[in-house]
Structure 1
Amino acid sequence: MSMQFASTSSDKKGVLVSVGVPTFNRPDGLRRTLNQILAQTHENLEVIVSDNASEDIEVERVANEFAVKDKRVQYIRQPRNIGAMANFKYVLQHAGGEYFMWAADDDEWSPAFVETCLAASISGESVGCKFDTLFRASGRRDSNPMPELDPSFGVLSNLRGFLACMQPSLIYGLHRKSSLEFLHHLPPFDFIDCYLVIRQIVSSGFRTVQDVLYVAGVDAPVYEIKYADEHTKKFDYATFFLRTALLFPFAKGMTLKEKRSAIGLLWETMCGLIKHHESCADPRKILISQIRQRWFRVLAPWRFA
């Protein structure tokens, strides 16, 4: 584990960490995930496996195998497919630990991942580690840039750092479970993972550890973009922008001037994001158009009542 936090790790051996494993049709991946999670140096774990009605019967066999030999593993099979986000919420809802993390069935972890993150959560802030991306089809392993986040830097500084280097995989860090309760009432939308990280930065704080202790796995030959609306396969930028912007006026760790700066940084980031994905000359038009459409949908029932 990182020597920076080694002195505090012994104080947290008794802390229960819940690990939520949403899984679907990946028996080999599930086996790899459970092997690596159960091999963590921090042993006080509960592991909640939620099988999203997999058609592959091997998923249930693998999960039951681990549940029998290790009492820390709980296996639940959903009677029907409830969707990916609902499955992520399910494992969170049924977690009983003080801290919580999601563990995907296509990712990998160093044995010291949980212990390091737990030790680094000095004041209860969320913690994420630097990570690589492994493309299993080709065996290629890429390093990823990581924002340097630390609660001592201040909220605006951390927002600036994350918005300059948005890493959605930071949601796969370690969080105090109570700080994630808002997620139960949150509908799915594009870039929701980035919203979660920003919300943690603003509310409970976020720290990054610059040791590579996590690998994001990609089983497909190339990374496939995930859309909230799989039918249109188009990004809704406005929902993420509006929800995120509404976090800043209520942030306790920023002055009024800093809150205005945060909204300006978010606007610039959104324009860059749209320009990247849409290859357009003026991304502002797309964002403004989507914002207008969204407000029209919200206000329309009152206009025509």
Structure 2
Amino acid sequence: MANVSIGIVSYNRPELLKRAIESATSQTYRDVEIVISDNGSTDPLVRQIIEEFAANDPRIKCLFHPVNQGAFFNFRAALNAATGRYFIWLADDDYWCAEYLEHIVATAEQSGAALTYGRCEIVDVDLAGDDRLVKEMKTALGRLAAMTNFVRLDTDAVFYGLFPTALGRKLAGLLRFWRIPPKLAVAWPFLEYNFVSYAFIFGLLSSGGYCNASSENTVHFVGGRSPFPHSPSLGWRHLLLFLMYVSVHLQMASRFAYAAYAAASWPGVMFSPVAVGYLFCRRLGMILSQRLNTLRKV
């Protein structure tokens, strides 16, 4: 049994997938199994690339799902198929520097943290150098401090960190879309999946804290995406969007509490409504500020 399981999640991006797999197979840390879970890709080149890599590397395990069942289904599938002591995801448009796992694993084993992550740098989009670096979360091995740091940072970059596989499986059921009316999910697709990973991260942190292993040897290169466009004028659609955000955060509060309970962390259960309340107020303030600035420019 390998010490670390790498879960590569894939859908219809053959060239980027090739880059991701090469990144995983060429790591200086060799005690790994690589679970490649393809979410029903319609491009035949995806399967061809996966099978070619698998034929040349016995560490690779392939999962081919007949139809696309959503991103979080694919994340769960890769995690549930893992047999390693530790687990880490790698998206098909991401890649690591060659020594990434070697340093991440050593730091995780030394610190005993439930979640360990390195440095995140955005690639594949036209950004200034400073804008490519994602804000980092400070090391906090105490559970309450780690949870507090997470909600203050308000980013899911650490979702791609290293964690104990057994603990991750306890929390895997939280990786599901929010319950949103289908028509609204079509109008605002980001509503279904924005912040879903937060409850999973919260559960990990409530179990055993966080360790920041950021260095030049632990760079996670993340494929960037263009932001969703904003409408410059306020209207009834924004009121409806606000109500959906209220619904999402109520669901988030429930999932945070469940995550902490699954991680056997009563401090996390008690802290969960405070955490979600802070996140909601923070986002509401940011949205109002952005809207007002947009209206002033019109």
TM-score of the aligned structures, taking structure 2 as reference length: 0.76
Aligned to 1:193: 197
Aligned equivalents of 1:250 and 1:171: distance in 2?
Answer: 18
Higher helix share: 2
**SS of equivalent residue, structure 2 residue 52:** helix
Give per-residue Cα distances to partners, 1:61-94, cap 9 Å, x unaligned.
1111111111111222211222211111111111
2:136 corresponds to which residue? 146
The alpha carbon displacement at 1:268 in A equals 2.3
Spell out the pairing of 1:1-305 with structure 2 (5 A cutoff).
Answer: 16-121=3-108, 122=110, 123=112, 125-134=114-123, 136-138=124-126, 140-141=128-129, 142-151=132-141, 154-186=142-174, 187-189=176-178, 190-211=194-215, 213-218=219-224, 220=225, 222-224=226-228, 234-235=244-245, 236-245=248-257, 263-277=273-287
Deviation at 1:173, TM superposition (A): 0.8
Question: 1:159 touches 1:262 (CA, 8 Å); kept in 2?
Answer: no
Does the 8 A contact of 1:16 with 1:99 survive in 2?
yes
Between the two proteins, the alignment pairs up a number of residues equal to: 255
Residues 46 and 279 (structure 1), Cα distance of their counterparts in 2 relative to 1, 3 Å cut: same
Q: Secondary structure of 1:100's match?
A: strand
Matched residues in 1 for 2:37 and 2:76: separation?
10
Conserved in 1, the CA contact under 8 Å of 2:200 and 2:259? no
Partner AA of 1:42 in structure 2: Y
* Distance change (3 Å), C-alpha of 1:107 and 1:251: closer
Residues 276 and 138 of structure 1: CA distance in aligned 2, closer, same or farther (over 3 Å): same
Alpha carbons of structure 1 residues 278 and 178: separation in structure 2 relative to 1, 3 Å: farther
Contact 2:114 2:210 in 1 (8 A): yes
Partners of 1:177 and 1:124 lie apart in 2 by 13
**TM-score, reference length from structure 1:** 0.74
**8 Å contact kept, 1:46–1:73:** yes
Structure 2: unaligned runs, 5 residues or longer: 179-193, 230-239, 292-298
Give me the CA root mean square deviation: 2.9
For structure 1, the 5+ residue unaligned runs are 1-13, 226-231, 282-305
For residues 250 and 98 of structure 1, what CA distance do their matches in structure 2 show?
19
State the secondary structure of the residue aligned to 1:188. coil
Identity of aligned residues (%): 23
Conservation of the 8 A alpha-carbon contact between 2:14 and 2:45: yes
Query: Relative contact order (alpha carbons < 8 A, sep ≥ 6): 1 or 2 greater?
Result: 2
User: 1:223 and 1:38, CA in 2 relative to 1: closer, same or farther beyond 3 A?
Assistant: farther
